[in-house]
Amino acid sequence: MSAAPIRKKPPRIGDSPAVRRSLIGFVLGVGAVLVLAPLVVIFVQAFSAGWSAYAATITHPDTRHAIMLTVVTALIAVPVNTAFGVAAAWAITKFDFPGKRLLTVIIEIPFSISPIVAGVAYLFVYGLQGLFGPALQSADIKILFALPGIVLASMFVTAPFVARELIPLMQAQGRDLEEAATSLGASGWRTFFSVTLPNIRWALLYGVVLCNARVMGEFGAVSVVSGNIRGQTNTLPLHIELLYHDYQTAGAFAAASILTALALVTIVAKVILERRGAGRAGRPALAGPVVAEQGAKA
């Protein structure tokens, strides 16, 4: 009997060594020019005037206030958006109700609207000539050009981050584990903490990391609602712009190095969480029914 003919695999795009090396070289070159070079320039320029000038910029009262305001904004906006993202993902993936698709579209709105447009919209809602402006003024409640406006603008821009990470994962996991837990007598909160949360913990942390990074780096919406008052309503990105406009280049880069360091930490955390399974739309290999049964017995 004659041997069966060996079928050759069809050629794939990039199988040629020359094509492969060209593609890799092109990607590395573009990445170096667009990403690596600006990062290097930031740190080089930050220390161009010496360590003493760098330390003076970082310890300046205006810079310290901008850092503190940025941190306070993140401490308020990130937990609220985390709770909103978890609640939205739970409602969309675990229940069927009229308006489900509309809720999904509403969650995506901040991604399709320019942050500056969002800031202007807040002016027309909470400004003196806005929808609630006269009522807020009569009650002596200040929203715009103060911390509440900065927090609201930051929350609007970062609202979808946690929900977008959780919804695909929870849709892939289905409702079987939660239904098993409730059928065994577990309460809603017990089901969430014993069954749902362990299965989504890495994706949840992934969304929180991205949300925090965006809050601290937000510029467009905050620049509209904050008023750019030096030492009062300037977050760190706005303070960097003011330093640059004042021709304090070294100081602007020194302040920018803080945000750059935050971005690098975010990238490292992102890689670690991805290795832990964040963002994977597959069912984690957890003993779900066992956990559900333990939750019901507790």
- The pLDDT of residue 151 is 94
pLDDT of residue 85: 93
Looking at residue 294, its pLDDT comes to 42
How confident is the prediction along the chain (298 residues), in pLDDT tens digits per residue? 455 555 656 666 656 777 788 888 988 898 888 888 888 899 999 898 889 889 998 999 999 999 999 999 999 999 999 999 999 998 898 888 888 889 888 998 998 888 999 999 999 998 888 888 888 888 888 888 889 999 999 999 999 999 998 999 888 888 888 888 888 888 878 888 888 888 888 889 889 988 998 999 899 899 999 888 888 889 999 999 999 888 888 889 999 999 888 888 888 887 887 777 665 434 344 434 434 444 444 4
pLDDT at 283: 39
Q: What is the CATH number of domain 20-297?
A: 1.10.3720.10
Task: Give the C-alpha separation, 125 to 296, whole Å.
Answer: 47
Look at residue 11 in the predicted model and tell me its pLDDT.
Answer: 60
Nearest-5° angle of CA 74, CA 80, CA 84? Answer: 135
Report in angstroms the alpha-carbon separations of 251 from 53, 223, 264.
8, 20, 20
- In this prediction, residue 191 carries a pLDDT of 84
pLDDT at residue 289, as a whole number? 41
Query: Are the C-beta atoms of 255 and 58 separated by less than 8 Å?
Result: yes
Asked if 259 and 63 touch (Cβ cutoff 8 Å), the reply is: no
What Cα–Cα distance (Å) separates residue 158 from each residue in 9, 115, 181, 211?
Answer: 47, 10, 32, 6
Please report the DSSP string for 3-16 in residue order: PPPPPPPPP-TT-S
Long-range contacts of the stretch 274-281 (C-beta < 8 A, 24+): 274/206, 276/202, 277/202, 277/203, 278/165, 278/202, 278/203, 278/205, 278/206, 279/165, 279/169, 279/203, 279/206, 280/169, 280/203, 281/168, 281/169, 281/171, 281/172
Please calculate the CA angle 269-271-275 and round it to the nearest 5 degrees.
115
Pick from 151, 166, 161: which is nearest to 111 by CA? 161
Q: How far is it, in rounded angstroms, from Cα 31 to Cα 25?
A: 10
Closest residue by Cα to residue 144 from 122, 164, 111: 122
